[in-house]
Amino acid sequence: MEKITPRTQNYSQWYQDIVEHAGLAEHSDVRGCMVIKPYGYAIWEGMQQQLDRMFKETGHQNAYFPLFIPKSFLSKEAAHVEGFAKECAIVTHYRLRNAPDGRGVEVDPEARLEEELVVRPTSETIIWNTFRNWIKSWRDLPLLINQWANVVRWEMRTRLFLRTAEFLWQEGHTAHATREEAIEEAERMLEVYARFAEDWMAMPVIKGLKTPSERFAGAEETYCIEALMQDGKALQAGTSHFLGQNFAKAFDVKFAAPDGTLQYVWATSWGVSTRLMGALILTHSDDNGLVLPPRLAPVQVVAIPIYRSEEERQTTCAQVERIVQNLRAAGIRAQTDTRDTHKPGWKFSEHEVRGVPLRVAVGPRDIQNGTAELARRDTLTKTLVPVDTLITHIPQILDEIQDHLLQRARQRLQDGITRVDSWAEFCDVLEKKGGFLSAHWDGTAETEARIKELTKATIRCIPLNNPPEEGTCVLTGRPSKQRVLFARAY
Amino acid sequence: MEKITPRTQNYSQWYQDIVEHAGLAEHSDVRGCMVIKPYGYAIWEGMQQQLDRMFKETGHQNAYFPLFIPKSFLSKEAAHVEGFAKECAIVTHYRLRNAPDGRGVEVDPEARLEEELVVRPTSETIIWNTFRNWIKSWRDLPLLINQWANVVRWEMRTRLFLRTAEFLWQEGHTAHATREEAIEEAERMLEVYARFAEDWMAMPVIKGLKTPSERFAGAEETYCIEALMQDGKALQAGTSHFLGQNFAKAFDVKFAAPDGTLQYVWATSWGVSTRLMGALILTHSDDNGLVLPPRLAPVQVVAIPIYRSEEERQTTCAQVERIVQNLRAAGIRAQTDTRDTHKPGWKFSEHEVRGVPLRVAVGPRDIQNGTAELARRDTLTKTLVPVDTLITHIPQILDEIQDHLLQRARQRLQDGITRVDSWAEFCDVLEKKGGFLSAHWDGTAETEARIKELTKATIRCIPLNNPPEEGTCVLTGRPSKQRVLFARAY
C-alpha cells in the first residue's frame, strides 16, 4: 500500500491521500463531480440515518421536489438570484440527434426549451412556489419539510467532499405563522446540528450568527456551526437560516390568521451536506489514515486471525468467527477478515487506513492462552485481554474511543481560540498559530472585507450568547461592543 | 372532502383523484416533474428501506456517481445512445448573468460548456467509465454496486409516478468474471424484485424475458416482472438486464484472469423506481381511496375517539392513547387522531382515503363495555372486540390484510390470463376482457410491431420456464414454439 503523506509535509495532500487510500471518494471524469465510493457512502448513510431520525423526532417529514428550477423562479427573490446565478448548471435543450457527419450525437437545435431550467443549487424557490398551494390557513402551519437530494453549484476549484460541483445534502424548509416561531425553528435545527456534530461525529462546534455579508442569499439571519480542523483552519459544518417573509413575498404565500386577516408566512431553511464527510476526516484522522468515531464507523470492530499452518488457520478463523458473532448479537458492527490472499500485517494497515476503531487479533498463542489482542485506532495502543471478557469490554472501549475523540477535539478547539487585541497580534497569531481569533470588530462590512483582503481571514461567526464587551476594532480602532471569531476557513 | 371518481366512470381520473386526495404527489410547475408529498414519500421510504435491506443481504454496496454524463460517454455504446438520446435534458451552460434590459437573468453566452452534459437517464456509461479504474484483476470481481438516485428522461406525456420526466430509483450495476455469473446475478435480482413485489407490495408478478425489440438499450437480455392492474392493463414493475460485455467493450474494462489473460468484464444492471408507487396504488385501491398493504403503510393503525361531552372526550382520548402506546410497544406503526377540529366521520373518511389498513374507534359506550370498534380498510368490515384483546388481535389482522390483498391480486392475475388461439379471439378478448393474452407468436419483430400497431398490445414477456408448445402465430399463422404474453400496458 502506498504511504500517506504526513500532515507536516503537505496537509492538503494528506487529506487527499486519506480520501483515496481509505476508499472514500474520487474525482470523476465529469468536471467538479465526485464519485462517492462504497466505504465513503456507508459512512454518509450512517450520518443520514441519524440526522433523519433527529429531524423526524423534531416533527419534520420528508418530501421530494423537482431537480429543475425554471430560470424565472430563481429571479423572484433578488438577493437569492444574486447569490446563485453565477454558479449554476443550466439545461437549455431536451434532445440529442445524430450528428450530420455521422460522428456521435449533438444537441438538437430544434429541441430548445422555451424557458431554461437551472439544476437546483438549493430549493427555496421551487419549494415556496409549491407551498403557495399547500398553505391556506393558520391550521396548515407550521409546515415542517425536509428533502434529501443532490444539488449543483458550479465550482471552479473543487476538493473531494469539501467543495464539489454536485453534492448530496438535506435541506429543511419550514413555514410558520409568526416571526418568533420561525426563529425558534432556525435555532432548534442549529441545535440539532450541533448535537449531531458532537454526539455522533465527536466534533465540537461553535454556534453563532453570520455577519450580514456572510449570510445565505435571501436570509434575514444565518445561524451556523463552525468547527476547527487540525491545521488551524475553520470549517462551516452546517447552516440554519431565518428567511423572514422574503420567500413568502416573492412567491405570494399567505395564510388566513385566526383573526381572519391574510398574512405572509415566515420561513426557515437549513442544511448539511457531504461536506460533513470532509469535516469528519479532517477532525480525527492521523498520519496512518482515517480515524472514525465508533458511532459512525460502518465497521466498528474487525477481527483478524494470525496463522501459519492449516491447523492454525482453522482454529484462529473459528475463534474470530465466534467473537464476531457474539459482538453482532450484541448489536456491534463487527466483521472478520479471514482473507487468505493477504498477510495479517497488510490487513492491519488496511483497516488502520480505513479507520476501523477497534481491531481484534487472534494467533495460535492466543488460542492456547484464551486471549486476544485488542488494538485501538485512536491511540494506537494494544492490550492483551482474556477472550471471554471481549463481549463486555468492547462496548465500553467503543464508548471510550467515541469520548476520547470528542475530548481531544474539544481540547483542540479550546486551545485554538485566541483573544487578540491589536492588529499586530492578529496577524502574528493568524500566521503562527491559526485557529479562531476572538477580536473586536467595528461592525462594518468594509472592515470585514478589508481584513479578508489583507489576511484571508473571515468572520466565521458571532457566537451565540456572546458577552457584550466594550473594545476597539483590531483593524480600525473604532469602537466595538463585542468580540467576533475570525479564522481562515475551508 | 371531494368525492373520488369511481373506477367504472373514469379509471384514469380515479387514479389521479387517489394520488391527489391521499396526498401522495402532485404535478409541479416544472414540466413533467412531480412533487412527492410527505405521505407519498413515506410510503416510498418504506419501499426503499426494504429493498435496500434485500440488496445488502445479497452482497451489494451503495455508492454514488455523478448526475451529469458527458455527451461523448453516452455515444460510446451504440444501442444505448440510440435508446436514450431522444429524451434527455442537456446542460449547455454554467452561468446566468443579469439581462441587459435589467429584467431578470439570462444564460451567459460566454459560459458555454466545451462538451455538453446530459442529466443521467441511467448511469451505465458513467459507472462503467469508473469501473475501468476499479477493476484490474479477477480478485476485484464480482463488483456489486447499487445507487439510489434521481434520473431524468424527457417525457412528453406524463402521469404521476407512472411516467414523469424526473423520477427516483435505484440502479444496480455489477461486474463479473464470467457470462454465467452475470446471468445468475441478473436472475437473482429479478427474483429479489419479484419477492419484494409479492411479500411487501402484495402484488403478484409474472417473471419473464423481454423480446429483443423491448430490451433495454445496450442489453443482451432483459428480464422483467410484469403485474396486472385492475383495469386489465399490464404494468412493468422492474427490469434486470444481462448486459454481456457491451459496456466493458465500450469503456475498455478488462480484468486479469487467474490464467493471466486479459478479458472483458461481464455486466448486469437492474432497477426499480417510484413507478412502483403507481403500481401499488393501481393494484389495491378502490372507489373509497387508497388501500395499502400493512407492511408498507406508514400508519398501520389509526385510533379515533368518539365523544360529545368534555368528560367523554377525556375518557375516550385517554383510551385511544393507551391503545396506541401498547401497539407501538409491540412494534406496530399506530397513531391517534384526537384532533378537535374535525368530526369522527370526517376523520374516518380521511384515513380511508389515505389507505390506513386498520381503524380503531372508541366511543363512550365502548368505555363502559370495555370494547372497541375495528374497521378493516381492505374489506370495509367492522367488528366490535374486547379492548384487551386488541394487542393480540391487531397483529394477526394486519397479517390477514396483507395476505388477503395478495390473494385477491393473485386471483385477479390468474383470472386475467387468457389463452387465445386465433386472431379473432385475440382481438375479442383484448377488447372485452383485457388482461394478459397467452398466444402463439412467430418470433419476428415485424409481427410484434404489426400487432402493436393494430391493437396497442405489446409482448409483455416470454415467461420464465415457459413450456415449449407447438402452435401457429395468432396473426400470421406461421409456426411458433411457445406462447408469449401480450397485453396493453401502462
**pLDDT value of position A457:** 98
Distance from CA of A349 to the nearest CA of B (A): 19
**Closest chain A residue by Cα to residue B40:** A63
Q: Please give the average per-residue pLDDT across A117-125, as a whole number.
A: 97
For residue A105, how many C-alpha atoms fall within 13 Å in the half-sphere facing its CB? Answer: 28
Please indicate whether, in this complex, the C-beta atoms of A30 and B68 are within 8 angstroms of each other: yes
**What is the rounded CA–CA span in Å between residue B1 and residue B23?**
12
Nearest to B219 by CA among B85, B77, B88, B121: B77
CB A289 within 8 A of CB A21: yes
CB A223 within 8 A of CB A214: no
Please indicate whether, in this complex, the C-beta atoms of A63 and B30 are within 8 angstroms of each other: no
**pLDDT value of position A78:** 81
Q: Please state whether beta strands B221-228 and B234-244 pair in parallel, antiparallel, or not at all (unpaired).
A: antiparallel
Please indicate whether, in this complex, the C-beta atoms of A71 and B116 are within 8 angstroms of each other: no
Bridge partners, A244 (sequence order): A267
Please indicate whether, in this complex, the C-beta atoms of A166 and B88 are within 8 angstroms of each other: no
Distance from CA of B127 to the nearest CA of A (A): 9
Q: A30, A95, A152, A335: which to substitute to probe chain B, counting the most B Cβ within 10 Å? A: A30
Nearest to B91 among A35, A37, A90 (CB): A90
Q: Is the ipTM of this complex over 0.85?
A: yes
CATH superfamily of B11-284: Bira Bifunctional Protein; Domain 2 (3.30.930.10)
- A1 band by pLDDT with thresholds 50, 70 and 90: low
Instruction: Give per-residue burial for A10-19: e unless 16+ CB within 10 Å, then b.
Output: ebeebbbbbb
**The three grid cell numbers given for residue B26, joined into one nine-digit string:** 402532485
Cβ atoms within 10 Å, residue A82: 14
Q: What is the 3-state secondary structure (H, E, C) of chain B?
A: CCCCCCCCCCHHHHHHHHHHHCCCEEECCCCCCEEECHHHHHHHHHHHHHHHHHHHHCCCEECECCCEEEHHHHCCCHHHHHHHHHHCCEEEECCEEECCCCCCEEECCCCEEEEEEEECCCCHHHHHHHHHHHCCEHHHCCEEEEEEEEEECCCCCCECCCECCEEEEEEEEEEECCHHHHHHHHHHHHHHHHHHHHHCCCCCCEEEECCHHHCCCCCCEEEEEEEECCCCCEEEEEEEEEEECHHHHHCCCEEECCCCCEEECEEEEEEEECHHHHHHHHHHCECCECCCCHHHCCCCEEEEECCCCHHHHHHHHHHHHHHHHHHHHCCCCEEECCCCCCCHHHHHHHHHHCCCCEEEEECHHHHHHCEEEEEECCCCCEEEEEHHHHHHHHHHHHHHHHHHHHHHHHHHHHHCEEECCCHHHHHHHHHHCCCEEEEECCCCHHHHHHHHHHHCCEEEEEECCCCCCCEECCCCCCEECCEEEEECEC
Q: Give the pLDDT confidence of A329-370 residue by residue, as tens digits.
A: 999 999 999 999 899 999 999 999 999 999 999 999 999 999
Q: B64, B72, B137, B154: which to substitute to probe chain A, counting the most A Cβ within 10 Å? A: B64
CB B65 within 8 A of CB B127: yes
CB A270 within 8 A of CB A362: no
- The highest-level CATH class for domain A417-487 is alpha beta
Contacts of B167 in chain A (CB under 8 A): none
**Closest chain B residue by Cα to residue A130:** B28
Nearest to B308 by CA among B360, B370, B369, B367: B367
**What is the rounded CA–CA span in Å between residue B97 and residue B107?**
6
Please indicate whether, in this complex, the C-beta atoms of A30 and B152 are within 8 angstroms of each other: no
Please indicate whether, in this complex, the C-beta atoms of B85 and A105 are within 8 angstroms of each other: yes
**What is the rounded CA–CA span in Å between residue A405 and residue A413?**
12
Nearest to A400 by CA among A376, A373, A382: A376
Nearest to A35 among B65, B71, B116 (CB): B65
Distance from CA of B367 to the nearest CA of A (A): 30
Contacts of A63 in chain B (CB under 8 A): 35-38, 41
List the domain boundaries for chain B.
11-284, 301-397, 417-487
**What is the rounded CA–CA span in Å between residue A374 and residue A489?**
37
**What is the rounded CA–CA span in Å between residue B439 and residue B420?**
6
**The three grid cell numbers given for residue B330, joined into one nine-digit string:** 409491540
CB B135 within 8 A of CB B252: no
Please indicate whether, in this complex, the C-beta atoms of A92 and B107 are within 8 angstroms of each other: yes
Q: B96, B107, B116, B145: which to substitute to probe chain A, counting the most A Cβ within 10 Å? A: B96
Nearest to A38 among B62, B93, B107 (CB): B62
Nearest to B187 by CA among B238, B235, B241: B241
DSSP 8-state class, residue A64: B
Q: Give the pLDDT confidence of A24-54 residue by residue, as tens digits.
A: 999 999 999 999 999 999 999 999 999 999 9
Phi, psi of A18 (to 5 degrees): -65, -45
Of residues B128 and A3, more confidence is placed in B128
**What is the rounded CA–CA span in Å between residue A396 and residue A390?**
10
For residue A180, the surrounding DSSP H or E stretch is helix A179-199
Distances (CA, A) of B42 to A303, A360, A403, B38, B277: 38, 40, 35, 6, 11
| 3-state secondary structure at position A97 | strand
Nearest to B307 by CA among B242, B366, B393, B395: B366
Please indicate whether, in this complex, the C-beta atoms of B69 and A30 are within 8 angstroms of each other: yes
Nearest to B30 among A63, A66, A92 (CB): A66
Nearest to B150 among A91, A94, A150 (CB): A150
Q: B72, B98, B105, B136: which to substitute to probe chain A, counting the most A Cβ within 10 Å? A: B105
Nearest to B28 among A26, A81, A130 (CB): A130
Q: Is A445 a residue whose pLDDT tops 90?
A: yes
Nearest to B105 among A65, A75, A87 (CB): A75
Please indicate whether, in this complex, the C-beta atoms of A90 and B86 are within 8 angstroms of each other: no
Give the number of beta-carbon pairs within 8 Å between A and B: 193
Distance from CA of B121 to the nearest CA of A (A): 12
Distance from CA of B24 to the nearest CA of A (A): 10
Tell me the one-letter amino acid at A168. L
| Domain A299-395 is found in CATH 3.40.50.800 | yes
- The rounded mean pLDDT for chain A is 96
Q: Please state whether beta strands B143-152 and B166-176 pair in parallel, antiparallel, or not at all (unpaired).
A: antiparallel
Please indicate whether, in this complex, the C-beta atoms of A33 and B67 are within 8 angstroms of each other: yes
Nearest to A85 among B70, B96, B139 (CB): B96
Distance from CA of B65 to the nearest CA of A (A): 5
Q: Is A102 a residue whose pLDDT tops 80?
A: no
**Closest chain B residue by Cα to residue A67:** B166
Please indicate whether, in this complex, the C-beta atoms of B33 and A149 are within 8 angstroms of each other: no
Tell me the one-letter amino acid at B248. A
Q: B67, B128, B138: which to substitute to probe chain A, counting the most A Cβ within 10 Å? A: B67
What is chain B's pLDDT, residue by residue, as a tens digit (490 residues)? Answer: 679 999 999 999 999 999 999 999 999 999 999 999 999 999 999 999 999 999 999 999 999 999 999 999 988 988 888 888 889 999 999 999 988 887 789 999 999 999 999 999 999 999 999 999 999 999 999 999 999 999 999 988 899 999 999 999 999 999 999 999 999 999 999 999 999 999 999 999 999 999 999 999 999 999 999 999 999 999 999 999 999 999 999 999 999 999 999 999 999 999 999 999 999 999 999 999 999 999 999 999 999 999 999 999 999 999 999 999 999 999 999 999 999 989 999 999 999 999 999 999 999 999 999 999 999 999 999 999 999 999 999 999 999 999 999 999 999 999 999 999 999 999 999 999 999 999 999 999 999 999 999 999 999 999 998 999 999 999 999 999 999 999 999 9
CB A100 within 8 A of CB B68: no
Distance from CA of A109 to the nearest CA of B (A): 11
Contacts of B93 in chain A (CB under 8 A): 89-90, 92
Distance from CA of B412 to the nearest CA of A (A): 33
Please indicate whether, in this complex, the C-beta atoms of A30 and B119 are within 8 angstroms of each other: no
Distance from CA of A41 to the nearest CA of B (A): 5
Distance from CA of A381 to the nearest CA of B (A): 31
Contacts of A107 in chain B (CB under 8 A): 71, 90, 92, 116
Nearest to B35 among A66, A90, A139 (CB): A66
Distance from CA of A93 to the nearest CA of B (A): 5
Distance from CA of A84 to the nearest CA of B (A): 9
Task: Name the burial class of residue A424, with classes exposed (0-12), middle (13-18) and buried (19+) by CB atoms within 10 angstroms of its CB.
Answer: exposed
Distance from CA of A97 to the nearest CA of B (A): 7
**pLDDT value of position B1:** 63
Please indicate whether, in this complex, the C-beta atoms of A94 and B87 are within 8 angstroms of each other: yes
**What is the rounded CA–CA span in Å between residue B89 and residue A94?**
4
Please indicate whether, in this complex, the C-beta atoms of B42 and A35 are within 8 angstroms of each other: no
CATH T-level topology, domain B301-397: Rossmann fold (3.40.50)
Q: Estimate to the nearest angstrom the gap between the alpha carbon of A255 and the chain centroid.
A: 35
A93 CB contacts (<8 Å, ≥6 apart)?
A107, A108, A109, A111, A112, A113, B89, B90, B92
Tell me the one-letter amino acid at B73. F
Please indicate whether, in this complex, the C-beta atoms of A61 and B74 are within 8 angstroms of each other: no
Please indicate whether, in this complex, the C-beta atoms of A90 and B92 are within 8 angstroms of each other: yes
Domains B11-284 and B301-397 share a fold: no
Of residues A156 and A26, more confidence is placed in A26
For residue A397, the surrounding DSSP H or E stretch is helix A390-415
Please indicate whether, in this complex, the C-beta atoms of A71 and B105 are within 8 angstroms of each other: yes
**Closest chain B residue by Cα to residue A36:** B64
